[in-house]
Amino acid sequence: MTSFELVCVVAMAQNRVIGDGSGLVWHLPDDLKRVKALTMGCPLIMGRKTWESIGRALPGRASIVMTRDKSWQAKGAIAVTSLDSAIKAGKDWLTEQDGSERRLILFGGGQIYADGLSRCNKIEMTLIDVTPDQGVLFPKTSPMDWDDRCLETHVKTGDVPTFRYQRMTRKVPIFV
């Protein structure tokens, strides 16, 4: 039986900022479409604060929400209290589908990336040419561990800054 893979999906500024704590600090419609395409049919593992910032379950995907509050619940969310439980819930959800999809998505935010990045096999990153003064940060990654490939660059148009899509793949593959 094929293993499951944890894939991190993130949009990050040049200085590693991913948001201001309650939402994103940019609006990139093209990136939102890409995130939808990348994650459709997958379980999304996210922190309770990211769930609150989205405000609803995203269609066609499971929303697995990490919280330390054992009594927390919300319509459309699968609540879990640890990363191990999140991964187990994601695998269970995938197994209940047609079984062809093997990816679980590490969806953020900062605390969940910090907790789960060491278990990811891939990072689908959008790197945006902005440097917000402050915000929630994405953890540092070492070129020793990751191969980094630029897939596509979009140059600045109007209010939309330059951004590029990068795929980072673990040099030594890991599965969950």
Ligand X SMILES: NC(=O)c1ccc[n+]([C@@H]2O[C@H](COP(=O)([O-])OP(=O)(O)OC[C@H]3O[C@@H](n4cnc5c(N)ncnc54)[C@H](OP(=O)(O)O)[C@@H]3O)[C@@H](O)[C@H]2O)c1
DSSP 113-155: HHHHGGG-SEEEEEEES---SS-EEPPP--TTTEEEEEEEEE-
* Residue 47 is a binding residue for ligand X (CB under 6 A): yes
| Cα 83 from Cα 5, distance rounded (Å) | 14
Q: How far is the CB of 160 from ligand X (least distance, A)?
A: 15
**What is the distance, to the nearest Å, from the Cα of residue 73 to the centroid of all Cα atoms in its chain?**
21
Q: Site for ligand X (CB under 6 A): which residue of 1, 27, 37, 68?
A: 68
Q: How far is the CB of 99 from ligand X (least distance, A)?
A: 28
Choose one: 63-71, 97-105, 141-149, 157-165; the region binding ligand X (CB under 6 A): 63-71
Q: How far is the CB of 67 from ligand X (least distance, A)?
A: 3
| Cα 33 from Cα 50, distance rounded (Å) | 18
Q: How far is the CB of 97 from ligand X (least distance, A)?
A: 23
- Which CB sits closer to ligand X, 4 or 107? 107
Peptide bond into 23 cis (omega under 30): no
* Residue 21 is a binding residue for ligand X (CB under 6 A): yes
The residue ranges that bind ligand X (CB under 6 A) are: 10-11, 18-24, 46-50, 53, 66-69, 72, 81-83, 107-112, 115, 136
